[in-house]
Amino acid sequence: MTASAPLLELAWRLGLVAALSIFLGLAFEETYKRNDRTSPGGIRTFPILALGGAMLYLIEPRNALAFVAGLIAVAMWLYAALQVPSPRETGTSLMVPASNLLAYTLGPIALTQPYWVVVAVSVVAALLLGAREKLHGLITLLPTDEVFTASQFLILVGVVLPLVPDQPLTPLASLTPYQVWLAVVAVCALSYLGYLIQKYVPFRNAALFPAILGGVYSSTATTIVLAKQQRDTHAGRPELTAGIVAATAIMYVRLGVVIALFNRDVAMELAPVLVGLFLLGVAIATYEWDRADKQKAVSNLDVAPRNPLQLQTAAVFAVLFVVISIVSAWTKATFGSLGLFAIALVVGVTDIDPYVINIAQGGVHGLSLGTLSAAILIAASSNNIIKAVYAISFGGFEAGRRASISLVALAALGFIAAFLYAMHA
């Protein structure tokens, strides 16, 4: 490395500071100085502040005393500037002094941290400045109870999860509290994503989207909701049948994602079958959708799931996860693989996620990938059978017949694939 290399590096970092502070100044002026030029800060002030902070840091980088002195001076200047009443503003936003102070700190950040840090800070700050009205609009868009629930979820993920012990709960299974809570977080987060998209993102001319996103949330719940709509049609609507089958097709994608989060080997082993069943489900749903009379068809399949981040839902999932894990381990130790398959048939009647994640996490030891894959497919196929029952019981035989037949067909293929996996295990 030549002697000029450090100087070139310094010049590059200072140039990056100047460019990013100008970028931040543009965003600031667009929001806070369009109607009032008296607000401190902007496209000229921010580069001066950023470069001034960098120079003061370079004077004495060990304790950064010069930089701290400059920070105090900037804070005093901002205080004095903001005391002057503005003729056009009734109040001063905290974003104004915060943006100036952030611009002042960009210099030391760029000089001491990797490039991506200062770039990320500048871009996020600019986005927050530019999205002022949209972010304030969220106040009227999001109900208070959902904001509160999401806050609880963030606490459980960012605070509780790292503190949960990673030691087995019982000698009956290798399950740990950390694994239990990680499973709860993974499933709730995936369901919540589908819930938010379904509820708050408008999809014009995409009538199947609610059913598809309902499959991300819960294909069983979506089946029940659409089957109840079928009941009022007596003869059955093809578009509702398409929605039920589409939700189950998405279930296979959801299963693949959940399994891959915990065990890539099992996910890769199951991938061909899950993809095949997904494509078959899509083909059936497309055929049913094309059969629909577009003049009389439901314009938008109404599927409104409950918020999956409710603590009651998480608690029920955690209890099911622990119980199923212990029962699966005991059954496998007592009856071998056949016992595990029997449990898979039973859990399909309720929620298969705790069982599937337990299998993927290695909750049952000493089994081959083929056996584990077979158990997961049995659970998914059993769940399809119960959804076929729901399609008829909630929608009526005539109205729910086609959806029920399609779900049974997908279940039968799943059972066949599970048998082949078990035979070659």
3-class SS letters over 186-210 = HHHHHHHHHHHHHHHCCCCCCCCHH
pLDDT at 363: 61
DSSP 235-254: S--HHHHHHHHHHHHHHHHH
Across the strands, what pairs with 170? 173
H/E stretch holding 356: helix 353-360
- Max mean pLDDT among 140-154, 334-348, 354-368 falls in 334-348
205 pLDDT above the threshold of 50? no
DSSP string, 323-350: HHHHHHHHHHHHHTHHHHHHHHHHHTTS
Q: What is 39-108 written as a DSSP string?
A: SS--TTHHHHHHHHHHHHHHHSTTT-HHHHHHHHHHHHHHHHHHHSPPSS-SS--THHHHHHHHHHHHHH
> Is pLDDT above 80 for 392?
yes
Point out which residues pair with 173 in neighbouring strands. Answer: 170
Q: Are 74 and 101 in contact (CB under 8 A)?
A: yes
Mean pLDDT, rounded, for 344-358: 81
Helix (H, G, I), strand (E, B) or coil at 173: strand
Per the rule left: phi > 0, alpha: psi between -120 and 50, beta: everything else, 142 is beta
Q: Which one-letter amino acid corresponds to residue 133? A: E
Q: What is the overall mean pLDDT for the chain? A: 79
Would you tell me the crossing angle of helices 337-347 and 369-395 to the nearest 10 degrees? Answer: 30
Q: Distances from the Cα of 276 to the Cαs of 200, 271, 280, 281, 283, in angstroms?
A: 31, 8, 6, 9, 11
| 312: confidence class by pLDDT, cuts 50, 70, 90 | low
Average the pLDDT over 36-59 and give the result: 84
Pull the structure tokens for residue 130: 């530019």
pTM over 0.75: no
Q: What is the mean predicted confidence (pLDDT) over 287-292?
A: 82
- pLDDT one-digit tens code per residue, 6-20: 788 888 888 998 998
Listed by start position, the domains of the chain span: 5-138, 143-423
| Per-residue confidence band for 405, with pLDDT thresholds at 50, 70 and 90 | very high
Alpha helices (H) along 263-297: 264-291
Q: Are 62 and 84 in contact (CB under 8 A)?
A: no
| pLDDT of amino acid 366 | 67
- Condensed to tens digits (0 to 9), the pLDDT of residues 60-109 reads 888 888 999 998 998 888 888 777 655 554 445 677 888 888 889 998 99
Q: Is the model's pLDDT at 170 over the cut of 70?
A: no
pLDDT beyond 80 at 395: yes
Contact 390, 223 (CB under 8 A): yes
How many whole angstroms separate alpha carbon 375 and alpha carbon 269? 13
